[in-house]
Structure 1
């Protein structure tokens, strides 16, 4: 039987922050949490990477997490969402990374996705990462150099993580714009015979994956920013009235993230619509080309029917066919066939069938 792996193996970083400044403290999250709660100020920021069920249960026992949060944090592939368990906010974000490729014709994947889960309360925030493109090292370092913002508490961390993820959406959308432009150019510049519609389907699939990551995040961001038409959820305080200046400030930051998310949503919706239009255009081009090919085939079949009909008539070998014994019958029939064929060809040509 494989021995259980301690929860510390899943810990990427653990820090205690008081008034926006990181304190010298042990990396043990239990000790860090006890320091914060004994002092009655500050918060713990614990970063985890792909914890298993046993490791996450150890963390849940120390921080008092709901079992459903533990289950979702262990098993990834969650839809972006925001839930409230007592006084703990549970935010699920889908991270997206653009895959560099030399040519759209040989690319198998355009975007790769991961998952970031943020569990925040008044004295702690836990980030759980799944995937290879979900690094938050830069976020922590940037916040540690901004103590005025970090002293807003766990809400500042939630905002920084959400801002990082949403900015990655904008970056990926900007990278994909040139690819979509190239596909559009190819669809309208190449003939139907040279058109590879699989490339359009590939990008359509990748845009749908991006859309599944971005679009559901709209409501959570609206709730975090305190939009009047949504249920209020704040990592600092959960009452709607009498907001402090810090709470108002963090909500302004969340509204900025929501604005960026709207921009990314609009870009992705545009790409989706353009690719749908390109698929329809490509299918139309293929249909037109097939129709043109069938008209050409039918035209040549009509021309070929003339000598076939004449040959069929004179191949019946009846005894009483006097023209068979005329001296100039053969050249006259050949001239007749050629004349009729040219007439039919010109007629079809004039009708743009050939």
Structure 2
């Protein structure tokens, strides 16, 4: 590859120098491409998390700026793995100019509001994933956050793979460390091997989140069907909302993975086998989420039915006591008419006798209502 093809030199200056100048214009703390130094000096506020060059499955020693890494990878027949975290528009534009990324994909990578998908822009594939992680909480309330979601964008080219992460879920440092330390043979397969490892990490996190959500679901179910009924409808609805958010991350990923596993000539055959394993894990997660959603709907319906039954019981109790009070009200209404000639008005024991009769009627009505389950 010539200097003109790579754009390695412009007006007699190395591209590495140009990259440093551009990044210094964005952030004055960037200098000389020393990643460890400028990351510390910028207060850990940098889009470039890591930038490595891999040749034959092994990472080359030293620090590289993104443009230097691309030149070195082209010269040594390797590839670049560039990791970014929440890049700004200016930073992403500089990356796009160096690596030849399409403007539409760059816009998606900055805004991070995409559904999982796989698109192709020339020789570059653009894979979008939704990340997820479980948020620990003491107890589930009507405002508890259970699942936190983010986004992961992966640009896969012939000589590079760029991962753009938004949010705190699915950090890539453990993935990179595992590949470099234990899976050099997989790294030899090129950029698509990194894409597999990233996708595998995201889907494995899905499984962990699903297991944790199941524990919350068990607590809700136990609270609904216990004698105390400690799970109000607000908690059930909140968990359902969180489950819907999780489902939006998991279910749409099935189509991109199917496209990858069915592709020929683009993704290496060996890597497609690995992606099929990820697809199996994703299918399991989708089935779990679907079953959780059905169970949560059943629990919600059961709780609503319980509320209706409780309201009916309350209404029956009120009606029973109102029926008992009606007897006293009826006699009080009759004797409150102040007629001159009424039975027992001149009887010495008229008042005690009436109270005794009303008391007997009250006891009989109470026992009848109690026997029928109204009281």
Q: Same fold (TM over 0.5)?
A: yes
Q: TM-score if structure 2 supplies the norm length? A: 0.85
1: CA distance, partners of 2:329 / 2:200: 76
| Matched position secondary structure for 2:348 | coil
Partner of 1:169: 206
Matching residue within 75, 80, 83 for 2:111: 75
Partner of 1:209: 245
2: CA distance, partners of 1:55 / 1:3: 10
Matched, 1:253 2:290: no
Deviation at 1:37, TM superposition (A): 2.5
1: CA distance, partners of 2:27 / 2:93: 12
Matching residue within 190, 195, 208 for 1:158: 195
Matched, 1:265 2:286: yes
Matched, 1:184 2:235: no
- Is residue 243–residue 293 contact of structure 2 (8 Å, CA) maintained in 1? yes
- Segments of structure 1 that go 5 or more residues without pairing to the other structure are 227-231, 239-245
Deviation at 1:105, TM superposition (A): 4.2
- Is residue 16–residue 25 contact of structure 1 (8 Å, CA) maintained in 2? no
Matched, 1:58 2:94: yes
1: CA distance, partners of 2:210 / 2:222: 18
Partner of 1:229: none
2: CA distance, partners of 1:320 / 1:106: 66
Deviation at 1:191, TM superposition (A): 3.8
After superposition, the C-alpha distances for 1:239-268 in whole angstroms (9 at most, x for unaligned) are xxxxxxx82211110000000001111111
Partner of 1:317: 338
1: CA distance, partners of 2:143 / 2:218: 16
Partner of 2:164: 128
Matched, 1:19 2:56: yes
- Is residue 67–residue 98 contact of structure 2 (8 Å, CA) maintained in 1? yes
Matched, 1:93 2:129: yes
- Segments of structure 2 that go 5 or more residues without pairing to the other structure are 1-23, 34-45
Q: Greater RCO between the two (CA within 8 Å, min separation 6)?
A: 1
Q: TM-score if structure 1 supplies the norm length? A: 0.90
Stretch of structure 1 that moved more, 255-264 or 325-334: 325-334
Partner of 1:347: 368
- Is residue 101–residue 107 contact of structure 1 (8 Å, CA) maintained in 2? no
2: CA distance, partners of 1:185 / 1:68: 48
Deviation at 1:106, TM superposition (A): 8.5
| Matched position secondary structure for 1:309 | helix
CA RMSD between the two structures: 2.0
Matched, 1:114 2:150: yes
1: CA distance, partners of 2:286 / 2:305: 28
Deviation at 1:332, TM superposition (A): 2.2
